[in-house]
């Protein structure tokens, strides 16, 4: 046993969640203290070290938008806007409070099983020119991706009996 004047005689537990650098510093101090002792009597040495290395989570990001989302009045539609990566799933999406445009009534934004940002629904609104809607994607840790811009257009449904030429 190491002499009591160094206070190493009793069992010591280190706090958890030390960085590798901190653990090296602690071990260096222990070996320095052992080296400076004139007489060392060791009856038993027990040393447990568990190191968990956790990979850093990549930052939350979105792929480039794939164009305009065009919804036909009265018809169901779905449009994949971008793929969301990084961060900590699950993700949520909402219209940004500063967005000048809003999603048409009946159309909502969501994240699908493949982490795609999707606009889907059936709008009954009258058509209007394209509107830019800013969408915020947030991960479960509260990190937000840069605002995703969705260019949403609504068009009139063709008259009954009309066929495309």
Both structure tokens of 18: 């030390």
H or E segment to which residue 101 belongs: none
**CA count, 13 A, side-chain hemisphere, 114:** 7
Res 61: pLDDT: 84
In three-state secondary structure terms, 4 is helix
Mean pLDDT by 10 residues, the chain (165 residues): 46 58 77 67 70 80 77 87 90 89 88 93 72 87 77 69 58
Res 3: pLDDT: 42
The residues that bridge with 133 in the sheet, in sequence order, are 150
3-state secondary structure 31-93: HHHHHHCCCCCCCCCCCCCCCCCCCCCCCCEECCCCCCEEEECCCEEEEEEEEEECCCCCCEE
Residue 93 to residue 4: CA distance in whole angstroms: 60
pTM: 0.60
Res 111: pLDDT: 94
Whether residue 136 contacts residue 163, with contact meaning beta carbons closer than 8 Å, is answered with: no
Res 115: pLDDT: 93
Res 102: pLDDT: 85
Res 108: pLDDT: 92
Res 1: pLDDT: 39
Whether residue 71 contacts residue 41, with contact meaning beta carbons closer than 8 Å, is answered with: no
Res 43: pLDDT: 66
The Cα-based distances of 27 to 11, 52, 140 in angstroms read 15, 17, 37
Both structure tokens of 105: 């009534």
Res 4: pLDDT: 45
């Amino acid at each position: 046993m190491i002499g009591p004047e160094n206070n190493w005689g009793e069992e010591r537990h280190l706090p958890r969640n030390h960085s590798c650098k901190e653990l090296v510093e602690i071990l260096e101090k222990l070996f320095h203290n052992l080296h400076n002792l004139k007489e060392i009597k060791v009856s038993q040495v027990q040393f447990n070290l568990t190191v968990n290395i956790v990979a850093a989570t990549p930052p939350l990001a979105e792929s480039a938008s794939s164009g305009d989302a065009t919804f036909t009045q009265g018809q169901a539609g779905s449009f994949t806007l971008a793929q969301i990566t990084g961060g900590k799933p699950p993700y949520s999406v909402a219209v940004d409070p500063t967005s000048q445009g809003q999603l048409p009534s009946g159309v909502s934004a969501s994240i699908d099983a493949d982490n795609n940002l999707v606009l889907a629904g059936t709008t009954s609104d009258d058509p209007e020119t394209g509107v830019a809607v800013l969408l915020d994607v947030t991960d479960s840790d509260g990190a937000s991706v840069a605002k995703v811009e969705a260019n949403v257009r609504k068009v009139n449904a063709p008259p009954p009996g009309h066929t495309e030429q």
